[in-house]
Chains A and B, each alone.
Chain A
């Protein structure tokens, strides 16, 4: 069964200034937001599409809006948040460019995590078995998987560049939950996940 990854929560908490306004897209059961509210005293709002998750957020006292990230972000006014988070959700979005543009319109900063399809284990699995692993797609079958976007960290970085986005910080998770802050050689091969703090490029 799919588990909500929490190993990058400490990084997100570190990146977010106390007392700021935070929008968490695809907030799941509200675990991240409620910890940010508790520890960073943020004003947080989550966006979720699943009814069950909405109920669980409300139970925790987390404000949540039932909405579709692909459609409903345009309803938020410009710059209404300090941070817009997209954690473990990018791979499930139909129009990622649009979502990232909207995040940077609605928020002053965006925080996006990317599961790395270029990670060594994924490559070996494809090479030796000719199959995408269940772990990679968060589901045993390709046809019911929430993961519809397979992207490597390098490709994602290229996209950010194309969009004229400034990367303020980036962290990469290696095996055994080791985190590196710099782009080691072969990081696109060795990191299973990357997390980016971005904002609109200063040229704009």
Chain B
């Protein structure tokens, strides 16, 4: 029996201040929850999604055939066991699946923000989740967990509010982008902006820059897979051997990327893609921990000394064939948190599935996450 879930929206009218200094007068936060919050309100785990994810992490939406993006990890008896834990996932700020982003209506003009939407950061994303947690009455999280960009939010939130969470799990992520990673993202953004339909971000109500966005997604997908996996999956196989028309997709791998691009533009906003990849590129965990903004914290926990992290626990996971966020970057995370006296463990999972392994390789991930959540703290 499939468990049905619905994305909920929290509307807030309290002004929300961003790291840039800009203020959003109104903020929507889309979220889903799985399992039950216990009486002591101490069994909550916050799940953070990656670049193209949304609040729908697990279970099924009514009439959907496919479950949420991390359903294999979240559910009864799974890695994040919904019979024991209360799992929360929110759509990120700047996203396009219910949370306020560039496609949302600007209350000042009655039109979509488009590029008048202020620049956002990974820390801003983390701050929106604090708004939701306050609303849900959750002061303390058992764990914060996420993969890829979700890992960035995880680390930011864990460090910014050292008293809030007991532990973190960071999978296939990095504490800052390298030049190569920024370069890939920039090519993706340029593809979007080079599409005439993008029109300086003003395409709402018209045809969106689908061609540009799908190219961006295709580039992304190449970095999510390993060379070996691509070779095994597609090789040089052709789908349409007798294709008469030149420069139409004929190799299997071309069709695959084509499909990934097309299915992405149906569900994702091009401006969201620009804002979010920009937030990822500018993310620098160590820099943000030293910044004045961390200390500011506006009377909240953010200014708490990092000493409070001492003896909390962390789990860092990487995949051997992930060349987008390679094990060497995961080890930097391990070193940083070891230096902060967090009790970190590190697992390097042997796989050919590249970066996407965090969404596909469940067996060992489940064993390791279960034992981490079970361990005596």
Residues of chain A at the chain B interface (Cβ within 8 Å): 45, 51, 54-61, 63-67, 75
Contacts and interface: CB of A to CB of B under 8 A. Distances in A.
From B335, B343, B345, B348, name the one whose CB has the most chain A CB atoms within 10 angstroms. B345
Contacts of A63: 313, 343-345
A63 B344 CA distance: 6
A65 B331 CA distance: 9
A75 B374 CA distance: 29
A51 B349 contact: yes
A138 B319 CA distance: 31
25 contacts: A51-B349, A51-B350, A51-B364, A54-B345, A54-B368, A56-B371, A57-B345, A58-B315, A58-B345, A58-B372, A58-B375, A60-B376, A61-B313, A61-B375, A61-B376, A63-B313, A63-B344, A63-B345, A65-B345, A65-B346, A66-B347, A66-B348, A67-B346, A67-B348, A75-B331
Contacts of B335: 75
From A58, A60, A61, A75, name the one whose CB has the most chain B CB atoms within 10 angstroms. A58
Interface of B is mostly: mixed
B367 interface: yes
Interface in B316-349: 331, 334-335, 338, 343-349
B135 interface: no
Contacts of A67: 346, 348
From B334, B346, B364, B376, name the one whose CB has the most chain A CB atoms within 10 angstroms. B346
A79 to B, nearest CB: 14
B289 to A, nearest CB: 19
A55 B346 contact: no
B377 interface: yes
A31 to B, nearest CB: 15
Given A45-B338, A51-B349, A54-B368, A61 B377 contact: yes
Contacts of A45: 338
B78 to A, nearest CB: 16
Contacts of B347: 51, 54, 66
Contacts of B372: 58
A66 B376 contact: no
From B367, B374, B377, name the one whose CB has the most chain A CB atoms within 10 angstroms. B367
A59 B371 contact: yes
Nearest to A59: B371
Contact of B346 (A56, A59, A61, A64): A64
Nearest to B342: A63
Contacts of B345: 54, 57-58, 63-65
Given A60-B375, A65-B334, 5 more contacts: A54-B368, A58-B375, A59-B371, A61-B313, A63-B343
Contacts of B331: 75
Give me the 8 closest cross-chain CB pairs, A-B, nearest first. A59-B371, A61-B375, A65-B346, A58-B371, A61-B376, A66-B348, A63-B343, A66-B347
Contacts of A54: 345, 347, 368
A56 B364 CA distance: 12
B52 to A, nearest CB: 28
A24 to B, nearest CB: 13
A51 B350 CA distance: 9
A45 B374 CA distance: 19
B114 to A, nearest CB: 46
A55 B344 contact: no
A186 B260 CA distance: 72
Contacts of B368: 54-55, 58
A56 B370 CA distance: 11
A35 to B, nearest CB: 14
A61 B335 CA distance: 19
Nearest to B364: A51
A66 B375 CA distance: 18
A58 B345 CA distance: 7
Contacts of A58: 315, 345, 368, 371-372, 375
Given A45-B338, A51-B349, A59 B375 contact: yes
A75 B331 CA distance: 9
Nearest to A57: B345
A64 B371 CA distance: 13
Nearest to A45: B338
A149 to B, nearest CB: 25
A20 to B, nearest CB: 15
A7 B331 CA distance: 34
Contacts of B371: 55-56, 58-59
Contacts of B376: 60-61
A45 B348 CA distance: 16
A55 B349 CA distance: 12
A66 to B, nearest CB: 5
A65 B317 CA distance: 10
Interface in B30-51: none
A67 B350 CA distance: 12
Contacts of A51: 347, 349-350, 364
